[in-house]
Structure 1
Amino acid sequence: MPERKRMGAMGKLSDFGKTNTPGQPTKQAPVQQPLVEQPPVVEEPQPELSPQTIETPAPKPQPEDKLTTVNIKIYRSQHEWLNDTARQVRDNNETPVPAGDRVYPQHLIQTAIEMLRSADVDWTQVKNTEDLKRFLNL
């Protein structure tokens, strides 16, 4: 029985990654120059932005302040309120907002945490949520 080659006349697999040796000429396609000379590209001047039209970027979190996932339980009505409020804030924009600047429920929760941190509450006196609501005048 004649010996049958696995890959036919394709050669060895190890031959595919080899480059040409310096003594072998390489075949290169001739580079064709365009027949029509193209006009130079003229950039339009950028309009100057007044201080009112310049948006200040949101402050970036500190490098050591990385985002983390927290699993919390909230009432369904609170969840719906967060979604509705975030949607209303997004809809308040007349022009499209970049994805990183859009407001979602997590941003409202982050802001609420900042409000709690800055609140004038004596945390040593808080024993339950009722105490916290009383200190916050809710």
Structure 2
Amino acid sequence: MDQADERDIRDTVATYTDLWVRHRMDEWGALFTEDSDFITHRGLWWRSRRENVAGHEDVPASVVEQKKSYTQEVLSVQDVAPGVALVHTAWRWPDHRPPGAAPEDRRGIVTLVMVKRDGSWLIRAAHNTRENGLEETA
């Protein structure tokens, strides 16, 4: 993978994070292929861009307000095949306050499979995994 492709992938992930924080879900969804898969930290599997966007739009306003503290950092970008990349990111969401619960400092890892289509890098698959806190929500 050349430096330009890696830079473009990192820019796409930065845009993904910015749009997610601002809860601009339609624009955020445009970063995914139509046939994308998204597995949530709770194990829900959305099998299209439409399902992914609808699922992420369906959150309480109190959670949307808290997104400003969310951050995401690219940990690695690896070339898998021409036009295909494997990307790992680490996310943090300090003082996340689920409805009716005490605040949590959440963190996790997202694995992305990205594909280059018509000169742009898009997300074909994403898997979000929480690193902490799930044992409390059994």
TM-score norm. by structure 2 comes to 0.21
Q: Which has the higher contact order (CA 8 A, sep 6+)?
A: 2
